[in-house]
Amino acid sequence: DAVLITYGDTLSAEGESPLVALQRFAQTHLKKIFSHIHVLPFWPYSSDDGFSVIDFHRIDPALGRWSEMCRLGQDFKLMFDLVLNHISAKSKWFEYYRAGRSGFDTLAIEADPHTDLSDVVRPRALPLLTETIMANQKKRHVWTTFSADQIDLNFASVDVLIKMVAVLLYYVKQGAEIIRLDAIAYLWKEIGTTCIHLDKTHEVVRLFRAILDQVAPQVMILTETNVPHAENISYFGNGLNEAQMVYN
């Protein structure tokens, strides 16, 4: 197997969408070279080259449509990104959180800005907490590991966990053969810890693997962690219960 990694708009041609241009080029030139194509985040987004996702279920209209992605999947196996650590501050989900809507009121991770968070491992030199104004005008500070536009999801919330399992299964339905868990190392937060590689992060990976083993055993999980080798390969678990592939 060999995986081509590309943004959805790397190629363009007059009169057709970027996904159609990619499919046509790949079908003509790449079928004997690559088995898989990983289209980097192709969702509507607000920043970070696609990794601040506005809607987990839609393709950015500037790139094309689901039917065009499915056509690409007829010639190549597909790899999708599940950006599960965070969601865009411009998303409907975060808007519902700010409004206190049921099912979304525990979406974000709140913390007192005076809390000592000095033990937290930081991937970027940006503020860890971001002030947000709720619909009732009250101020809260929410966890933003990567940027103020990327609101960390609270996986301690059953509502959040169920929503993200649904996204995982939606990607399977859309033809993903490999699902890359973006920034997985930072998923679970516990104040007083480093908030990286925590046991409950690995439990979430094991849960996703167990679900896929039952309903779509052909789909592989790939974990993405920009960490040293020993930490990276810890996401294999015991070799059978976490990721089938790891990625740095």
Residue numbers annotated as active site? 182
Integer-rounded Cα radius of gyration of the chain: 19
Nearest to 241 by CA among 202, 215, 192, 196: 202
Amino acid in position 175: G
What distances in angstroms separate CA 33 from CA 3, 37, 184, one per listed residue?
A: 9, 11, 30
Within its chain, how far is the Cα of 188 from the centroid?
Answer: 14
First to last CA, the chain: 18
Measure the CA–CA gap between 135 and 129, rounded to whole angstroms.
Answer: 19
Give 139's contacts (C-beta < 8 A, 6+ positions apart). 131, 132, 133
